[in-house]
Structure 1
Amino acid sequence: MSGESVELTQGLRLLHDGPVTDAYNLLLLAATASRVTDPALSRMACVHATLAAWAGGDRDGYRRALDALCAPAGPQSAGSRSAAQPEAPRTAAPHEAAGRDPVDAFWREYRDGMRCVMNGDFRRANVLLRPVLGILTARADAPGLMSAGTIALMLGDLATARQVLGVALATARAAGSTALVPRVLEHLAYAELREGSYHQARVHAEAGLEAAGESGQRNVVAGLSAVLALAASIAGGPATVAAHAQTALRTAHAHGLSQTSTLAEWAQARADLGHGDAEHAAARLAPLVQDGPRQGHFGLWVMVVPCYVESAVLAGHDVDAAALIDQYAVWAAMGADPQAPALLARCRALVSSDGRTEGLFTEALAEHEKANGPYEHARTQLAYGMWLRRRRRPVEARPQLRAAVLGFEQCGADVWAEHARAELRAAGDTLTTAPETGSLGLLTPQQLRIARSVAEGATNREVAQKLSISTRTVEYHLRNVFTQLGVRSRGALTRLLGAEQPGHF
C-alpha cells in the first residue's frame, strides 16, 4: 500500500468515525501526495476534505479544500481515474468543442459553484451546479447519486434532494453497500426534516442508526441522533429529546462535529419552547446566533434565528432582534430555503410594535402557501391566533388556532398540537379530537403502539413482526418508553397502561 493510500484510507475512516480535523488534514495530505500521479484520486480526497471541513464548521478549511480540487497537476494516465469520481460527459459539450478537458471543466464548475454557495450567491450557484447535478445523477451509482442529492439540498431544492437521495438509498441497498447506506439515510432524513416531513425523517433516521451502529460509524450515529432529537422535539417528551441530543453531543464534542452539535442544541431548545419553557429555549439559542466562540455552524446558525426570536419574545427578553432579523432577511433572499420568506415575515410580526403586525402575519401565511412545510405553517397560524386572542379578538383567532391544531397533527407534532388546543379552548372553542391523557401523552405514536403490544404480552420479536420493523428498533423504542414513563420492567409498564386505560386490554 502506497503512502498516499494509507493517508486516504485513514482520512476516510476518521471522517465517519473520528475527529474530523484529523480527517481533514489527512485527506488534504492524500490529495497533495497524489496530485501528479493520480489526479482523480487527489480530487476525491479533496471532496472528502470539504465534507470534513463542513462537518467541523471550518469555513476557511472548506475553501482551501475547494481550491485544491483544481490545483495544477501533471498529465493524467488513462488508467488513473478513480472509480469513485464522476465520469466525464458522454456527449460533446461546448467546452469540449473549445478543446477543454471535460473532466477538468466538470470540477471547475463544481468548485466555482460551491464557492458561490459559500458566498451566498445561490443564483450563480444554480447555474454552475445544475449541470454537475445532472452528470452525477446520470451515473446512477450510489456515491454519485448521494453527491447529487447533497448538491440539491444545499441549493434548497428539497424535492429533488429527497427524490435523488431516495434513489441513492435504493441503489446502495441493492449493491450491498453497508458502509454507504447509513450516510445516505443521514442526508435523506435531514432533507425530510428541512421539508417538514417529520414522520419519514424519523423512520429513516432510526434505520440509519441501526445500520451505522453495525458498521461502526460514530460520527454518522451522532448526526442521525441529532436528526432524531429534532424530530422528537415536536412530538416526544423532553426526556426523549434529551437522550437523543446527548448521544449526539457526546460524539460531537469529542470529534469536533459543529454541524451535529448545532442541530442537537437546536432540538433541545425547540423541545423547551414546545413545552412552554421559552426562557430556557432562548438561553440555549442565544450563543448559537450571536457572534463569539459558541456561535453555531457557519452554514446552519442563521436557520436557528426564527426559533430564537420567538423564544426571546415569549420569554419577555428585552433584546434587539433587528440585526439578527436583517441577517435572516439576507438568507431568505438567497432562495436556499423555500420556507425562509414566511419565517422572516413571522419574525418581523413577532417583534413589531408599529401597527404592521397583522399585515406581517398575513404576509407570512401567504408565503407559507408557496412552500411545503406543515409544521412551520402551523407555527405561524398558532402565533397569529395567540396574537389575536390576546387582543380580545377570539372569533378571528379561532380559525387560525383550528388550522394550527390540524397542521400539527398532520406532521405528528403532538406537543405543539396540545399547545394549540389549549389556546383554542382559551378562545372559547375546541376540537373533537383529543390527545392521549396522562403520561401516555409523552409517547410518540410508534412508541405507544410498541408499549401497548408489550403490555399485551408480546415479545420484542413478535412486536417487530407485527409492526414490520427490526427487533433492534423495538428495543430502542422500548428503552425510550421506559425512560419517558419512569418504569423499569415490562410488568411495571403493563400495570401503568392498565391503570391509565382501564379496560383497554
Structure 2
Amino acid sequence: MTAETTVRPAVRIHGRSAQRKALRALLDGLPTACGRLLLTGEPGLGRTTLLQWAARSFRAGPVLHLGPAPDPDGATVTAGQLLDTLRAAAGESPLLVCVDDAHLWNGPARTALVHAAEHLSGAGRIGLLLSVAADRAVAPDFARLPVVRLDPLAPQRAAALLDDMTDRAAAPAVREQLLAEAEGNPALLAALVRRLSPAELRGHRPLPGPLADAPALTEAAGGAPTGPNAHARDLLLTVAAAVRASDGPDVDAGLVRAALRRLRPAPEPGTRPEPGTHPEPLPAQLALAGDRLRFHSPLVRRTVYATAAPDPRRAVHRALADALESGGHRLPELLHRSWSLSGPAPAPEQAERLAAVAADGTVPASHLLRATAYARAAELTADGAGRAERYTAAAGQALLAGRPEQARPFLVAARRHSAPTAVRGRAELVRGLVELRDGPVGDAHQSLLLAASLLAADAPADAATAAMAAADAAWAAGDLPACLATLAPASPPGATAGATAGAPDHGPPGYDERQESAERHGRTAAHAVAAVSDHRAGMRALLEGRFDRAGAPLRQVVARGRTEHRPEPLLRSAAAALLLGDVDAARGAGARALAAARQLGSEALEPRALEYLAYAELRAGRHPQARAHAEEGLRAALRSGQRNTAAHHRAVLALAASIEEEPDVVAGRVAAALDTARRHGLAQAATLAQWAAARADLGRGRAFDAADRLGLLVLPGPGRGHFAVWRLAVPCFVEAAVLARREEDAREALTDLAGWAAFGADPQAAAQLARCRALLAPPDRADDLYRRALARHDEAGGDFERARTALLYGKWLRRRRRPREARGRLGAALAGFERCGAGVWAAQTRDELRALGAGAHVARAGTPTRLSRLTPQQLRIARHVAEGATNREVALTLAVSTRTVDYHLRKVFAALGVRSRLELARVVGQAEQAGEARRPAGHHEKTGAQP
C-alpha cells in the first residue's frame, strides 16, 4: 500500500442513460406539473450520484435537500406539515426536493414522506426525488411510488468507467481482475483502484490478495453490516458462506438451519415456534422466498463474509460441510471442508480430492461449481505446474458456464506459474475462446494459433480444436486469407475434433466432464473425424469459390447432424446447412442444439444456438421469428458475457427492424451492433448491421443513400463487406443503384450474384437474380423476367422477397400504363408485406396503389390502430393470451421459451396501456369486432424452431 492515489473522480456518469432519461422527464415536467420518482439499487451503484446530477441539472427553480433530522422530543412531522414546508420553499417557482437514503428515516417520518408524495398534486409544481436501498424499495412505505432501478454496470460500461478513473493506465491483466472483482459496482471499483499503487495498477508489481478485501468492501457498502444479536450475525455469515458453494445467489434454507443447529442450539429465524414462543425475524439484509434464502445485495453478502473473523468463518464452513455430508452433496461438502482449514498453507490431499471430484462426470455439479472447486484446489496445491493446470481447468469450466469474467482471472493466476507446454497450450486455448466470444477477434486468432502450436506434439486433437477455433476468429474478422490458411490441409496434425469455420466456438477439450465417456472413442470418434474433415473441405472449397466441390462434403455434415445429440456437432450441422441454403435443416439442427445446451446447463452455447436459429429464419424471410430468436439470444449472450455474440444478435434485430420499424429504432439497433463490432473487429456483424441501415433507407424511398451505403459493401475495394455476407446484400444494391441511375455499378455486382445463385446456397438467390435482371432489362424483356422471378419465389417461399418483387413489378406496370395488372401485383405485394410485418414496405406499396386510384380502400387498410403498435410476434402472443392461454401454453404453441413470452407480454402491456390479462382480452376483442387487427402470417401455424 502507498499513500499515492491512483484514482480520480470520473468525469462523467457511465451506463445510466435510461435512468437519466427518466429523471430528465421528471425535471422537464416540473414547470407545468408535479412529479415523484423513487431511485433504488444496492449500495455503491450510484443513487447519490444520480440525485446530485438531477439537482445540478434542474434550472427552473430551487432545489431542496431533505434528510432524516434528529428528533429528541419524539415529535414527528405530519404529511400536511411536510407539504406546507414544501409549498413555502417553492414559492411561485417549481421546486425539486431530493431525499437521499429515505429508508433511514424513522417509520412515522417515512409514512409522512410517502403520503406527501402521493398528494403533491395539491401542493403546486413540486418534484419529489427519493432514493432508497434496494431491499427497501418494495417495502409498504414505498411500494406505490414509480420506481427507477439501478443495476450493476454492464461490462462495457464498467470498463469505460475504469478507464475514466485511471486515465487508461491499468495493465490489461490488472484491468480484467479489477472488473471481475467489482462485478459492475462503481463504488467497489473505485475502492479497489484506490487500494493500488501506480506500480500495481500498471502491472509492475503483483496485486495484493485478496483484491476485494474487507476495507474495500466495507467502504463500498457504506459500513460493515451487522445483525441485532449473535444469532442474527451467525445467520448472516452462514448464508454468505453457503453461497460460495452454490450455483446462484440463494441457498437452501434447510441447509442453513442444519448448519446453525451445529453452530449453536438456538431457534432459527423463520421456523415454526414452539408453543408460547415467537420466531426471530429475518435480518433486514436477507429475504426468504419459498425455501431459499438470499441477500438483497450481493455487495452486502460479500462484505458480511469478508469482515467476519477467521475463526467464526471456519466454524461456519465446518458446520455447512457436516450438514452437506449427510445429504451426499460431495463437491459442495469438500469445498466447505477446504475453507474450514486454518491458514494459507498448501493441503495436497485436500487439493487432490477436490480436483478429482471436480473432474468426475458422474458427480452432479454445474460448470460454475466445478470452476470454484478447481480454483480452490489450485490454491491448496503446492507445486507451480499443478497450480497452473488447475487454474486453467477452472477457467475452462467458467467459460463453459458462460462466465468469461471469471475465466480471465483464473488464466492470469495460471500464468504466474511455470507449467508444461501442454498446460500452457490449453491455457492459451481457453484464453482464445474467451476472446472469441468477448474480445477482439484478432487477439483471439493469435492466441488460438499459439495454442495450436503448443498442443501439436502432446495433444493433437486439442491442437486441431485450437486451429479450427482460430478459423472461427478469422471468419468473424472477415480475414479471408487467414481463414483459408487455417483451414488448409497443412494445419496441425491430428485434426480430429473441434470447431469449424462459421460454427460455434467450443469449450476447452477435456473440461466438459459430462461428455467425457467411452463414446468419445471408437465409432463416435471416427464419426467426429469424418464430420470435421468434411466441414473443412466444404468450407475451404466454398471460400475459394469452387462451389461445385463444396456441396457434397457440407451435405455430409448436415446428414450426420440428424443423428447427433451433443450441442457442438449439432451447431456444426446448422452452420453447414446455412451455407447450403437448407434453412429447414438449419432450423432443426439449431433447435436441437439449443435443447441440448439447455439440458447440459451450458450457458455458453445457448446464445450461439439461438444465433443460428435467427439466421435460418432470416434466410427463409421469416423476420418476426428471426426477431424473436435474436431477442432471446441477445439476453442470453449478455447474461453469459458474450458481447461478440450479442453484436451478431443485434445485427439480426437491425435487419428485422429495417422492414418493420421506425427509422430511430433501426438506427439504434445498428449503432448497438456496430459499437461492439468495430471495437472487436467483427466484420460479419458490421456488414449485417450496415446492410440493415441501407435496407431501411431503401424501404423509405431513399435510394441514393441506400446505394451509397451498399456500394461500399458489395463493390470491389478496401471497404467491401464480409466475404460471406456481401453477396446477400447485392439484390438491395442493384435495386438502389438502378433507382439512383448507377446502372453500371449494378451490372458489375450482378455478375457476382449470378455465380452465387448458381451455387444454390441461398434459396432466394435465383428469384432475386431474375428480379435484378428485370430491373436492368429493356422493356421487351423485363416483363418475362419479372414473371420468372415470381415463379422462382413460389418455389423458394418467403413472403418478404416475393412481395418486393411484386412491388417492383407493379411499379413497372403502372409506369407503362397497365393499371389493372399493376393493381393486382401491388395488391399481392401489400398482402405479402402485411403478412410478414414489413410495415415500411407496406406503406410504400400503399403509395403506389393510391397513385392508381385505390386511395379509399388503402387508407382503411393502413389506418393506425391500437393493436398496430405491436410487432407481429407481440400480436401473436397478445391474441393467444386474450384467448385464455397461459404463458407456457403460448410458448409451446409458438416454439419459443417462456422467458420470451414473458418479455414480449410486458412489452404488450406497456404498449397498450393495460395492467391485466383481462384488460388485454378486452382490448383485443374490441379490435377484432371492429375489424381493426390484421392477423400476422401463419397465425394458425406454429412458429419458431420447427416449421
- Give the TM-score taking structure 1 as reference length: 0.83
**2:564 matches 1:134:** no
**What corresponds to 2:716 in structure 1?**
291
* Change over 3 Å in CA distance of 1:236–1:73 after alignment to 2: closer
Contact 1:329 1:344 in 2 (8 A): yes
1:476 deviation in Å? Answer: 9.3
**What corresponds to 2:537 in structure 1?**
112
**2:861 matches 1:434:** yes
Distance 2:432 2:558 in 1: 25
Contact 2:467 2:491 in 1 (8 A): no
1:442 deviation in Å? Answer: 7.1
- 1:416 is aligned, of 841, 844, 850, to 841
Distance 1:56 1:277 in 2: 30
The SS at the match of 2:488 is helix
- Kindly name which structure, 1 or 2, has the bigger radius of gyration based on alpha carbons: 2
Distance 1:21 1:172 in 2: 27
1:343 deviation in Å? Answer: 0.4
- 1:172 is aligned, of 581, 597, 604, to 597
**What corresponds to 1:364 in structure 2?**
789
Question: Matches of residues 162-311 of structure 1 in structure 2 within 5 Å?
Answer: 162-311=587-736
Distance 1:319 1:75 in 2: 48
- Tell me the amino acid that sits aligned with residue 28 of structure 1: L
1:124 deviation in Å? Answer: 2.5
**What corresponds to 1:327 in structure 2?**
752
**What corresponds to 1:17 in structure 2?**
438
**2:576 matches 1:146:** no
Distance 2:527 2:814 in 1: 62
Contact 2:558 2:577 in 1 (8 A): yes
Contact 1:178 1:215 in 2 (8 A): yes
Contact 1:237 1:442 in 2 (8 A): no
Distance 1:399 1:191 in 2: 31
**CA offsets per residue over residues 188-213 of structure 1, 9 Å max, x none?**
10111011111111111010111111
* Change over 3 Å in CA distance of 1:439–1:264 after alignment to 2: farther
Distance 1:374 1:289 in 2: 25
Distance 1:324 1:379 in 2: 19
Distance 2:588 2:877 in 1: 30
**What corresponds to 1:52 in structure 2?**
473
- Structure 1 segments unaligned to the other structure (5+ residues): 93-100, 452-463, 483-496
1:6 deviation in Å? Answer: 1.1
**What corresponds to 2:482 in structure 1?**
61
The SS at the match of 1:299 is coil
1:428 deviation in Å? Answer: 2.8
Distance 1:276 1:74 in 2: 51
Distance 1:183 1:312 in 2: 35
Distance 2:656 2:831 in 1: 18
- Tell me the amino acid that sits aligned with residue 377 of structure 1: R
Contact 2:461 2:496 in 1 (8 A): no
**What corresponds to 2:871 in structure 1?**
444
The SS at the match of 2:780 is coil
Question: Matches of residues 352-501 of structure 1 in structure 2 within 5 Å?
Answer: 352-353=777-778, 355-429=780-854, 430=857, 434-437=861-864, 444-445=871-872, 469=899, 473=903
- Tell me the amino acid that sits aligned with residue 473 of structure 1: Y
Query: Which range is displaced more, 147-156 or 111-120?
Result: 111-120
**What corresponds to 2:463 in structure 1?**
42
Instruction: Give the CA RMSD over aligned residues.
Output: 3.5
Contact 2:567 2:593 in 1 (8 A): yes
* Change over 3 Å in CA distance of 1:413–1:27 after alignment to 2: same
**CA offsets per residue over residues 247-304 of structure 1, 9 Å max, x none?**
0000000000000000001101111111121121111111111122211001111111
- Tell me the amino acid that sits aligned with residue 448 of structure 2: L
Distance 2:862 2:664 in 1: 19
* Change over 3 Å in CA distance of 1:11–1:369 after alignment to 2: same
Distance 2:790 2:471 in 1: 37
Distance 1:15 1:240 in 2: 28
**What corresponds to 1:458 in structure 2?**
none
* Change over 3 Å in CA distance of 1:441–1:274 after alignment to 2: farther
* Change over 3 Å in CA distance of 1:358–1:167 after alignment to 2: same
**CA offsets per residue over residues 128-184 of structure 1, 9 Å max, x none?**
233333334423111111111111111111111111111111221222211110111
Query: Which range is displaced more, 249-258 or 310-319?
Result: 310-319
**2:544 matches 1:122:** no
**2:769 matches 1:336:** no
- Tell me the amino acid that sits aligned with residue 19 of structure 1: P
Distance 1:320 1:75 in 2: 45
Distance 1:188 1:315 in 2: 35
Distance 2:496 2:572 in 1: 26
Contact 1:375 1:407 in 2 (8 A): yes
Query: Which range is displaced more, 377-386 or 151-160?
Result: 151-160
Contact 1:122 1:155 in 2 (8 A): no
Distance 1:248 1:473 in 2: 21
* Change over 3 Å in CA distance of 1:121–1:54 after alignment to 2: same
* Change over 3 Å in CA distance of 1:449–1:238 after alignment to 2: farther
Distance 1:132 1:447 in 2: 36
Contact 1:56 1:258 in 2 (8 A): yes
1:435 deviation in Å? Answer: 3.1
- Tell me the amino acid that sits aligned with residue 610 of structure 2: L
1:391 deviation in Å? Answer: 1.0
The SS at the match of 2:627 is helix
* Change over 3 Å in CA distance of 1:330–1:318 after alignment to 2: closer
Contact 1:38 1:81 in 2 (8 A): no
The SS at the match of 2:431 is helix
Contact 1:35 1:74 in 2 (8 A): no
Distance 1:213 1:431 in 2: 42
**What corresponds to 2:94 in structure 1?**
none
Distance 1:103 1:170 in 2: 20
The SS at the match of 1:31 is helix
**CA offsets per residue over residues 425-448 of structure 1, 9 Å max, x none?**
222334596234399967634578
1:450 deviation in Å? Answer: 11
- Tell me the amino acid that sits aligned with residue 219 of structure 1: N
Distance 1:330 1:258 in 2: 23
Contact 1:210 1:472 in 2 (8 A): no
Q: Which has the higher contact order (CA 8 A, sep 6+)?
A: 1
- 1:28 is aligned, of 449, 463, 466, to 449
Distance 1:391 1:471 in 2: 48
The SS at the match of 1:49 is helix
The SS at the match of 1:138 is coil
Query: Which range is displaced more, 228-237 or 29-38?
Result: 29-38
- Which has the larger share of helix? 1
